[in-house]
Amino acid sequence: KECDWSSDVCSSDLEVWIPCQEKFRFSEQVDPTTGQKKFIVQGMMLPFGKVSRNGILYNKESVIEKHKDLIGRPVMYNHMIEGHQLPIGHYINSIIKEDGWYYEMDIDSMEKDFIRKLERGDLRHVSIQLVGAKAVERFDENTGQAYTEAYVGDIIEGSIVPAPGFLDTTTE
C-alpha cells in the first residue's frame, strides 16, 4: 500500500516547527527476517531556499549539520509531548538531498486507528519541533520580502499533523 500527500509548516520565535511543503509516502512492508508488518512514512521535512508563509527561511548549513539528530526521535501526533501522549513511532533515517531535508519514520504497527487515518488520507502533513540556535532578520531586495533566517539548534520531535501550515498545499 502506498499513499502520497502534502506536508506542513508552523513557526514561532526561536522554538519553531519546520515547514514541509512537499509530499510524504506511506507504505506497508513486511520485515523479511521477522515476518512482522512495518508501516513506513517517507517524505520531505524541509525544502531548501524557500521562505515559509510565517516568514522563516531555515539556514541550510545548520540543517545539514543537525539533520542526523532526527534519527531515533519520536514521531508524535500534532506535537503532543506533554502529559500521557506516547509516541506513535520513531524516525529511522534522515537524508539531505539537493532540494531539501528528507526523513523516514517507522509507525508502530499497534497504532491501528492512526494507520487507518494514514491509509484513508485523513492525515496528510508533517511538521518538526525544534529549538532554534539563532535567528537573523533579513530583507530580500529582489522580492521586497522581509524574513527571518533561522538556524537549527536541538531537534525535539517530529509529528504527523492534521492541518497544513502552507495554505496552498494540496492533496494528490
For 8, the grid coordinates are: 506542513
121, 159 Cβ separation under 8 angstroms: no
In angstroms, rounded to a whole number, what is the distance separating the alpha carbons of residues 90 and 156?
A: 12
Q: What mean pLDDT is reported for the chain?
A: 78
Report the candidate in 103, 94, 149 with the shortest Cα–Cα distance to residue 126. Answer: 103
Can you tell me which residue has the cell 492533496? 171
Q: What is the pLDDT of residue 5?
A: 36
Q: Is 38 exposed, middle or buried (0-12, 13-18, 19+ CB in 10 A)?
A: middle
pLDDT at 84 over 60: yes
Q: What is the pLDDT of residue 7?
A: 39
pLDDT at 157 over 70: yes
> For the chain, what percentages of helix, strand and coil (3-state, to nearest 5) are there?
10, 50, 40
Q: What is the pLDDT of residue 13?
A: 39
Q: Positive or negative CA dihedral for 104, 54, 60, 150?
A: negative
Estimate to the nearest angstrom the gap between the alpha carbon of 85 and the chain centroid.
Answer: 19
Q: What is the pLDDT of residue 23?
A: 57
Q: What is the pLDDT of residue 6?
A: 39
Average pLDDT over residues 124-142: 87
Average pLDDT over residues 128-155: 90
pLDDT at 90 over 50: yes
In angstroms, rounded to a whole number, what is the distance separating the alpha carbons of residues 128 and 132?
A: 12
